[in-house]
Amino acid sequence: MVYVGSAESEDHDQELDSVLVGPINVGSYKIVFQAPAPNVEKIPKDDLLGVTVVILSCYYREKEFVRIGYYVNNEYDDPELRDNPPEVPDLTRVVRTVLDTKPRVTRYEVEWDQ
């Protein structure tokens, strides 16, 4: 799971966690994947608030077969702070909302074992 810290450069992307799953039978599954929050020290100050994405990439035999992206909104918990943000971000008042109901899914062809 990768948190995109800045749209300007991949240098600010952070791998939050990874997991190995399997073997599993053919079918549909629901997996709950929780990861620690990103390190805010590695995110540019101008990118701490606003919309970014979390990307979950799935691989089979080192080949990516699906990439799932979720929009993430980071904003102040108080409308007054949203309208008049402090010069130095107050991270104790920032809330993160993941739009988990509308993932962006990209599938890739891979050769599956028979």
Tell me what pLDDT residue 114 has.
54
Tell me what pLDDT residue 82 has.
94
Tell me what pLDDT residue 41 has.
94
Q: Quote the distance between the C-alpha of residue 59 and its chain's center.
A: 17
Token pair belonging to 14: 């952070």
Report pTM: 0.86
Question: Residue 23, preceding bond cis, omega within 30 degrees?
Answer: yes
Token pair belonging to 3: 């948190």
Tell me what pLDDT residue 30 has.
82
From the first residue on, what is the mean pLDDT of each consecutive set of 10 residues in the chain (114 residues)?
94 94 80 90 94 94 93 96 93 94 93 75
In contact, 55 and 35? CB cutoff 8 Å: no
Q: What does DSSP assign to residue 41?
A: G
In contact, 48 and 16? CB cutoff 8 Å: no
β-bridge mates for residue 55, sequence order: 2, 69
β-bridge mates for residue 54, sequence order: 3, 70
Tell me what pLDDT residue 91 has.
94
